[in-house]
Amino acid sequence: MEQTRPLRLAKRGEDWEFPRMSLAEKEERLKRFHPSYKEGSLQELKVGPSKGYRLPPEFCSILESWSRIDPDRIDLSQVAYVTDVLIIGGGGAGTAVALLALQSQLGDPEPGEPVGVPRCPYPPSDFECLYRHSCPYLDGLSTQWVLEEYRRAHDVYQEHLRIIDLFDGDLKARDERIRVLERDNAQLRAKLQALHRRQFKPNEKKEVEIGGNNPESPSSSHEGEKKKRGATPGHPGWVRPKPQHIDRTVEVPAPTICPHCQSEGLAPIQETTEHVQEDIVIQPQTLVTCYRHGQAFCARCNRPVVQAGKGELLNAPIGPVAKSVALYLRYRIGISYRKTTELFRELFGLEFVPASALGFDRKAAAQGMPIYEDLRDKIRTSELLHADETSWRNDGVGHFIWFAGNQNLAFFHIDRHRSAEVAKSIFGENFDGTLVRDRYAAYNGIGLDWQTCIAHIITKAKEIRGEHALLLQTEKDTAVAPFCNNLIDLCSRLCDTGQKLKSGHIPRNEAAKLEKRFVMELNPAKRGTNRPFVSNLPRLSVVFS
């Protein structure tokens, strides 16, 4: 600047305008020459009320280090000096504060004046600089223009910083949103792919053969093993049991032509063979019975009355056998009402309309209502029950069929709703047994204890493991696959143990010991282990009943 000042002054006299520096040029020169922009010239203060401010390292080290004042020698509770303004340092900031506080001028004191005594302000209030419109220290620029440009540049710089911070916040929010969407997209793609794989399953035998080195292959020795087709070697042969009686005997003469080679002139022999064959007898006719009733007069009813005969349904043109067969075909075989009427018409010669078959159902349901209520009462007093529900179509209208039962009882209930009120109407308000169910909220509060179906846990763990295997590598969690494998192994052993107990391969008196062993395995604190999969398991009760 000193070397080029004469040239700039000459051009300034010629009314030559100097181009303004851009914000980037100013920033570049500050980084090159200003001390505060040098690397390591400032650092962030870590303690105190000014925590976070960027200050010189020497000043930060003083504030962040231990105090050098010995409290045993210097009593800080006693004030030695009181001052309005304490200025530490003689740099630009300290000098500016001193000028503001003392309203004094810079420089040495006049001869005979004491040092540090305030002097009259300098320059006088009416002083006007001769170079305010063309300052030689500003390359001939106007001081007012320079001050305005300085203030405007500072405002512009702060506005740019605000815009940068705003854009930076938007970018961070968008990056986080993109990360969440990518994770959700990966999970949905994995679920969709797993769903398609469940619908169109590949050859499981090949998967078992090549699944030895696959990290996603079943970890348990019980899972993936396929039972060989056929019975075990050495088993007794299976034959159809012989009939207990023979209704008719047909004498068949010896053949005269060989049925194999068609040769003639066969020689009869004395030995005979027997072939027993079972078949059905279809009688294409109905059995029409006329019941002649003796009547009696009831004085209370004031009318003649009759009683039902053996095998008779009063006031019913179709007998109980036909109605029972119609119900059997409908609910056991699964034949529609219309096809049931066709079967009766073509095989037995008995004609009735589909509406009559529906009436058979309604009549049977009304007659079976006492049995239905008795089953409900027995269900409510059971110690252990299994419960489930699923959708059910009735005349094209969506319903739900509820099940409650055990090895001895089976209770079904069809209802339009799938709410907790329906569950309470089945099990009652005071059911105090154990309920084996899924995690559907309608069963909450029913029973003193509940147990999740172990097979459902195995299925869910397999689904989670399969969906996790389809995720991107960046979205995978290393703890998921071991957790699912260990959980599948544990639940598979539970199922195998339960089947062996039911079949008698394990004595019933061993159930308590096995239960204790599995509980110890589920509780890492009791067995002194930190297996990660059991520490994250929810409450899982093991009951062998």
**What crossing angle do the helices spanning 480-503 and 454-469 adopt, rounded to 10°?**
150
Q: Are strands 296-298 and 54-55 parallel, antiparallel or unpaired?
A: unpaired
Task: Give domain status of residue 186, yes or no.
Answer: no
Residue type (1 letter), 222: H
State how far the Cα of 226 lies from the Cα of 538, in Å rounded to an integer: 31
Tell me if 40 is assigned to some domain: yes
Among the candidates 314, 339, 367, a domain finishes at 367
Dihedral sign of CA atoms 480, 482, 483, 484 in order: positive
Domain that holds residue 40: 28-65
Rounded-to-integer distance, Cα 398 and Cα 416, Å: 7
- Secondary element (H or E) of residue 54: strand 54-55
Q: Give the pLDDT of the chain (545 residues) as one tens digit per residue.
A: 778 778 877 777 677 777 778 888 888 888 888 777 777 788 899 988 889 988 888 888 888 888 878 878 888 787 777 777 777 776 777 777 777 766 555 555 555 655 555 555 556 677 787 788 888 888 888 888 888 888 888 889 999 999 999 999 999 999 999 988 988 888 888 888 777 777 666 555 555 444 444 544 444 445 556 667 777 787 787 777 888 888 888 888 888 888 888 888 888 888 888 888 877 776 666 778 888 888 888 888 888 888 888 888 888 888 888 889 999 999 889 889 999 999 988 888 888 899 999 998 999 989 889 999 999 999 999 998 999 999 988 878 999 999 999 988 999 999 999 999 999 999 998 898 889 988 888 998 888 888 888 888 898 899 888 888 888 787 888 888 889 998 899 889 888 888 888 888 888 888 888 888 888 887 765 555 554 444 444 444 444 44
Provide the CA 190 distance to its chain's centre, in angstroms: 13
The answer to whether the predicted template modeling score (pTM) of the entire model surpasses 0.85 is: no
Single out the residue in 367, 383, 398 at which a domain terminates. Answer: 367
| Residue type (1 letter), 107 | G
Tokens of 444: 């909450």
Chain position carrying tokens 């969709």: 192
Pairing of strands 410-415, 303-305: unpaired
* Bond before 123 cis per omega within 30 degrees: yes
Question: Does 336 fall in a domain?
Answer: yes
Instruction: Kindly state whether residue 320 falls inside one of the protein's structural domains.
Output: yes
Tokens for 13? Answer: 């006299």
Go through 163-188 and write b for each residue having 16 or more CB atoms within 10 A of its CB, e for each that does not. eeeeeeeeeeeeeeeeeeeeeeebbe
Please answer whether residues 446 and 432 qualify as being in contact, where contact means their C-beta atoms are separated by less than 8 angstroms: no
Does residue 232 form part of some domain?
A: no
**Cβ contact 488:461 at 8 Å:** yes
At a CB cut-off of 8 Å and minimum separation 6, what does 538 contact? none
H helices then E strands: how many in the chain?
16, 9
Count CB neighbours of 357 within 10 A: 23
Amino acid symbol at 24: A
* Token representation of residue 427: 């099990």
Sequential DSSP letters for 231-277: PPTTPPPP-PPPPS--S-----PPPSB-TTT--B-PPP-S-------
396-404: long-range contacts (C-beta < 8 A, 24 or more apart)?
402/426, 404/379
* Token pair 């419109």: residue: 133
Alpha helices (H) in 303-353, listed in sequence order: 320-328, 337-343
CA atoms within 13 A on the CB side of 261: 4
| Domain end position, chosen among 65, 92, 123 | 65
- Residue 479 forms part of a structural domain: yes
Q: Is residue 360 classed exposed, middle or buried when 0-12, 13-18 and 19+ CB atoms within 10 A define those classes?
A: buried
d(CA 142, CA 98): 27
Residue 56 covered by a domain: yes
Report the first-to-last Cα separation within the chain, whole angstroms.
99
Q: How many domains are there within the chain?
A: 3
Report the distance separating Cα 253 and Cα 46, nearest Å.
117
- Token digits of residue 67: 């105090």
In a domain, 490, yes or no: yes
* Eight-class DSSP state of 344: I
